[in-house]
Amino acid sequence: MNDTKDVVERKEELQERRPDVPVVPPAVDIYENDDEILLYADMPGVEKDGINVNIDNGRLTLSGTRRMEASGAANWEEFGEVEYRRVFSVPQTIDMDKVNAELKDGVLRLHLPKSEAAKPKQIEIKTA
């Protein structure tokens, strides 16, 4: 009888991680052509220093934190400090060394160039 009791009354052991700022996924657009994959992510209010792009083992982690300076008395506040974070799987054909990013108007643009081997090639047909 004690066994059954243990099973049903087992407490939830997974501790919820409570970060000091809420974590939300940013809205992204993903484009691709023969040369690269291009990723746009909306990160309004995030400074360049607050952005982290990490590629590890085929996983691309994008994160950026918006900090708000202390200011006057708030009449209303519809947004606050936030961490934008999102994880993507990237194909092995990306040339990791040439990945570059730019930040403009609160939009992060991440260029993921394809390695030479992965680019489509035109095959020339020779006449015999």
Partner 1 sequence: MRTRISEFDRLFGSMDLLRNRMNRLFADFDRLYGGDLQGMWREDYPPTNLYDFGDRLEIRAMVPGLNREDLNVKIQGNYLEINGTRKSDAPEGYEAHRVERPTATFSRSFTLPCDVDADRVEAHMKNGMLTLIMPKPEAAKPKQIAIS
Residue found under tokens 């291009």: 38
Q: Report if residue 96 touches partner 1, rule: CB under 8 A.
A: no
Binding status of residue 125 toward partner 1 by CB under 8 A: no
Residue of 49, 56, 77, 97 interacting with partner 1 (CB under 8 A): 77
Does position 53 interact with partner 1 (CB under 8 A)? The reply is no
Residues 105-124 within binding reach of partner 1 (CB under 8 A): 105-107
Q: Which stretch binds partner 1 (CB under 8 A): 34-42, 55-63, 90-98, 120-128?
A: 34-42
Stretch that binds partner 1, among 53-61, 68-76, 90-98, 114-122 (CB under 8 A): 68-76
| Distance (Å, whole) CA 42 – CA 29 | 9
13 CA to centre of own chain = 28
Cα–Cα dist 84/45, whole Å:
11
109: nearest Cα among 25, 56, 31: 31
**Measured distance CA(11)–CA(79) in Å, rounded:** 35
Q: How far apart are CA 125 and CA 115, in angstroms?
A: 24
Report the residue number, 9 or 56, with the smaller CB distance to partner 1: 9
- Residues of this chain that bind partner 1 (CB under 8 A): 1, 4-5, 8-9, 12, 16, 22-25, 27-33, 38, 40, 42-47, 71-79, 82, 103, 105-107
